[in-house]
Structure 1
Amino acid sequence: MTAPTPHDVETAAARIRPHVRRTPLLHATVDGRPLVLKLEHLQRTGSFKLRGALNALLSGERPERVVTASGGNHGLGVATAAAILGLPATVYVPVSAPSGKVRRVEETGARVVRHGDGYAEAAAAALADAREPGTRYLHAYDDPAVIAGQGTMTLEILTSAPEVDAVVLAVGGGGLAAGAAVALDGAGPLFAVEPEGCPTLHAALAAGRPVDVVVDGRSPAASALGAARVGELPFAVLADAPTRSVLVNDAELLAARDRLWEEFRLAVEPAAAAPFAAWLAGRVDAELPCVVLCGANTDWSPA
C-alpha cells in the first residue's frame, strides 16, 4: 500500500463534501490557557468515520456490497456511507460492542453480525465473508483512501484556524492520526493520545514497528480505541511525521469527558475526551493547540 499525499486529502475533501458536515471550531480558554476544540462529534453518524468510508467507496470501481468489521463507529460510518450510495452493507462487531452503537448501525439498514470477543476476531470473520465476488472489504484504518478521507477533518482545521500550532487527537488503529499527519505535511506537531490500557501506537513507536498489545477491555475507551495493533500504513505515516505519543489514564479521560459537559455542554464518548484529558494534564506542549473531539456514540450520564 502507498501512503496518501496532501493532494489525495484535498481530492477527498472535494469528493465527499456533498455528504459530510464541515464541523465547527470552538475557541475557548480553560484554566487560563487558550485552545481550539474541533467539534467532530457533531459529524453525521456522530464521528469522523463517515469521511474515510465515503472517500473509499467513492474511489475506484463501485462494489456490489460492502463488508467491514468495527467496534462501532467505523461500522456506523460504513453503513451510513453504503446507505447514501445505495449499497448493501454487512458489519461484523465483537460481542462486547456497545448496544447503542450496534443499534445505530442497524438503523441504517445494514446487517450486523456479532462475532468474537474482540475486534481481531470480528475482522477475521468479516474478511472471510468478503471473499464473495463483488464485495469490497473496507478496513477501519489500514486503507489509503480511508486515511485520506479522515485527513479532510484536519484540512478543515488548517483552513479555518491557521494560527493553530498543534493538533491533538485520539488514536485507535491510527487512521485519523495518519490522515492528520498527511494533511499537516510537517506543518506542526501531532499529539497522538491513547488510554494507558490501549497503547497500540505508543508500543509501536517504542518497538519501531507495529506490535500486538494486550488491550484492557475494562477501559471506558476500549470499544473505540481498543485495536490490538496499530495499522501498518498508519504506523508508516506516523513514524515519519512529528508525532508525539501521549498516554492518559481512565480517571483522567472520564474527568475530561465530564468537564466538557459541565463547562461547554459538549457530550462526547470517553475515547473522544482523551485528547482533552492530555491537554488538561499539561502533556501537550503547544501555545494554541486544536483538540479534536472525534465521537459521541456511547450512551452515558454525567457524573
Structure 2
Amino acid sequence: MLDLKKIGRARKRIADVVLHTPMAYAPILSELSGYEIYLKKENLQRTGSFKLRGAFNKIASLVEEGRRNGVVAASAGNHAQGVAFAARYFGIDGTIVMPESTPLTKVMGVQELGAEVILKGSNYDEAYAYAVEYAKEKGKDFVHPFADEEVMAGQGTIMLEMLEEEPELDAVVIPVGGGGLISGCAVAAKSLSPEMKVIGVASAGAPAMKLSYDAGKPIDTTGVRTIADGIAVRDTSPVTLEYIRKYVDEMKLVGEDEIANAILFLLERQKLTVEGAGAVGVAAILHKHLDLPKGSRIGIVLSGGNIDVTMLSLIIEKGLMKSFRKMKLVVTLIDKPGALERFAGLMREVQANIVQIGYDRTSTDLEFGDAHVSVALETKGAEHQEKIRQALRENGFPFREEH
C-alpha cells in the first residue's frame, strides 16, 4: 500500500542522486490569473524529468532485496532515461524496449546512459508487451512506468519538497497520463495537508484517465494523439485509478492549442523550456479551466523539459502567427524589372520586416507574365497586419495569406 511512510523511505533512497528542484513564485502568471502561482521545476531535474525519482527508487528497492539480475522497461522517453540512469548507478544491466519509430536522438540518449536498446513494435503498446515477455524470459525485473507503488512513492517525493517550501498551498496542479505522478503526490498531499485540493490535468488527446475518473471504472481509449507525448497513455491502469479516485479532487482536460500556448508562454515569459506534458498545468491556468477562489496559492508541477527541437520550432512558428507577430503572404507581381523592388519598397513604407522570401515565375497556375513572391513578414500585431493588407490592395498587389 502506498502511504506517507513509503514516500519517506523513497526520499531517503533518492536523496544523494535526485535533485531537489527549485520551486519559484511566477509573478507574470500570477498577475494574469489572479492566483498566487508557484512552479515546481522538474524540467530541471537530472535526465530532464521527474521520472528519475520513481525509476531510481524502484531499482534501489530491488537492489536492497538482492535482485541484481537486471531491469527491463518499455519507454520512448523520460522513463527510459530514468531507468537507464538508475541501472548504471547500481551497476546492473538495463534494457529498454522502444518502438521502432523512436527518433534516433532518444535512442542514443538512452544508450549514452549505458542501457541496451531493443527496437520492437510499431507503437508503445507493442513495445510494452514485448518488454514484459522479454523480462520474464530473461529472468529480469520489469520496471513499470507508473503502475508500481515504489515508482509512485518516488514521484510522491516531489510533494514533500513542495510543501516544505510552501506549506500553505491551497491547491496543486499535476499532469496526468498513466497516473503515477499524481498518485504519489496526492497521497503525500492529503496526508500532510488534507484540505489542499489536488487537481489533475490531462490532454484532451489522451483522455483515458479523465474518462475513467468520471466513470469510476477503468476505461481504455482506442488511440491517443497529442503533442504531450509524456502523458500520451491509451489505457487506464486500475492500480493508479484507485489512488486517483480516492485522493484527487478534480480532473481537467486541456486542448492541443492550449498546451502549445503554454509551452510558448513558459519559454517566452518564464524563460523555461518545458515539454507538452509538463505544460498542461500552466495551460489549465492560462485558459481558465480552474474554478478556485481568487488569490488561491497554487503549486504547478512542470514535470519535464525534454521537448523535441523540431516540435518546439513548430510551436514557436504557430505561436508567432497566432499572436499576429508574423504573417505569410503569396503576392502576385508582374514579372518585369523593378516589380520586386517596388514591392519591397512598399513593405519598407509600412514597416514590415521581410524575414523570408521566395520568387516563382514557373508555376502552372500563373498567368503569362506574372510571378509569385512568397514572403514571411515580421509584424507588430493585428492592427499592423491590417495596415499591410490595405497597402497591398491600394497599390494593386493581388495576394493571399498562408496559415
SS at match of 1:74: helix
The Cα of 1:226 is off from its aligned counterpart by: 1.4
Larger deviation, residues 44-53 vs 91-100: 91-100
SS at match of 1:131: helix
Are the equivalent residues in 1 in contact too, given 2:206–2:232 (CA < 8 A)?
yes
Instruction: Tell me the residue number matched to 2:212.
Output: 204
Report the number of matched residues: 299
Measured in 2, the distance between the counterparts of 1:114 and 1:73 equals 16
CA distance in structure 1 between the partners assigned to 2:9 and 2:266 by the alignment = 33
Measure how far apart 1:283 and its partner are.
Answer: 1.6
User: What is the deviation of 1:133?
Assistant: 5.0
Q: Give, in angstroms, the shift of residue 114 of structure 1.
A: 2.0
Moved more, 13-22 or 97-106: 97-106
How far is 1:181 from its partner? Answer: 0.9
2:277 pairs with 1:268 = no
In the alignment, what sits opposite 1:36?
38
Say which one has the larger Rg: 2
Q: Deviation per CA, 1:54-96, whole angstroms, max 9, x where unpaired?
A: 1111114232111011131111110111111111111112234
Partner of 1:48: 50
Question: Which secondary structure state, in structure 2, belongs to the residue aligned with residue 205 of structure 1?
Answer: helix
Identity of aligned residues (%): 38
Q: Distance in 1 between matches of 2:102 and 2:196?
A: 35
The one of 249, 255, 261 aligned to 1:249: 255
Counterparts in 2 of 1:179 and 1:187: CA distance versus 1, 3 Å: farther
Structure 1: distance between partners of 2:164 and 2:88: 30
Q: Does 2:141 align with 1:136? A: yes
- Residue number among 137, 159, 165 corresponding to 1:160 in the alignment: 165
Partner SS, residue 86 of structure 2: helix
Residues 1-303 of structure 1 mapped to structure 2, 5 A cutoff: 3-29=1-27, 30=29, 31=32, 33=34, 34-60=36-62, 61=65, 62-185=67-190, 186-217=194-225, 219-221=226-228, 223-286=229-292, 287-300=296-309, 301=313, 302-303=316-317
| Alpha-carbon distance in structure 1 between the residues aligned to 2:103 and 2:291 | 34
Identify unmatched segments of 5+ residues in structure 1: none
**CA shift for structure 1 position 163:** 1.7
The letter of the residue matching 2:227 is: P
Q: Deviations for 1:167-196, whole angstroms, at most 9, x for unmatched residues? A: 111111100010111111234221111111
Question: How big is the shift at 1:17?
Answer: 0.3
Contact 2:200 2:248 in 1 (8 A): no
Write the deviation string for residues 23-57 of structure 1: whole angstroms up to 9, x where unpaired: 00110222153200000111110000110011111
* Higher deviation after alignment, 8-17 or 28-37: 28-37
Judge conservation of contact 1:193–1:246 (CA < 8 Å) in 2: yes
**Given the superposition, is the C-alpha separation of residues 133 and 215 from structure 1 closer, same or farther in structure 2, using an over 3 Å criterion?**
closer
**Deviation sequence 1:172-229 (CA, Å, 0-9, x none):** 1100010111111234221111111101211111221112113333x211x3111111
* Unaligned ranges ≥5, structure 2: 318-403
SS at match of 1:245: strand
Shift of 1:98: 4.2
User: Equivalent residue of 2:278, what SS?
Assistant: helix
Aligned partner of residue 281 in structure 2, secondary structure = helix
Letter paired with 1:253: I
Assess if the C-alpha contact under 8 Å between 1:98 and 1:298 holds in 2: no
Larger relative contact order, structure 1 or 2 (CA cutoff 8 Å, min sep 6): 1
Structure 2 Cα separation of the partners of residues 170 and 162 of structure 1: 21
Contact 1:225 1:271 in 2 (8 A): yes
2:25 counterpart letter in structure 1? H
For the residue of structure 1 that corresponds to 2:259, the secondary structure is helix
2:211 is paired with a residue whose SS is: helix
**Considering only aligned residues, what root-mean-square deviation do their CA atoms show, in Å?**
1.5
Check whether the contact 1:100–1:299 (CA below 8 A) recurs between aligned residues. no
Distance in 2 (CA, whole Å) between partners of 1:242 and 1:270 is 22
Partner of 1:36, secondary structure, is strand
How many angstroms apart in 1 are the aligned matches of 2:149 and 2:269?
A: 37
The one-letter code sitting in structure 1 at the alignment partner of 2:307 is: T
Q: 1:99 to 1:177 in 2, by over 3 A?
A: farther
One-letter identity of the residue aligned with 2:259: L
TM-score, length-normalised on structure 2?
0.71
Distance 1:98 1:258, change over 3 A: farther
* Kept after mapping to 1: 8 A contact 2:147/2:180: yes
CA distance in 2: counterparts of 1:177 and 1:72, whole angstroms: 19
AA in 2 matched with 1:240 = K
TM-score by length of 1: 0.94
Deviation >4 Å, runs of 4+: none
Distance 1:96 1:198 in 2: 19
Equivalent residues of 1:72, 1:98 under 8 A apart: no
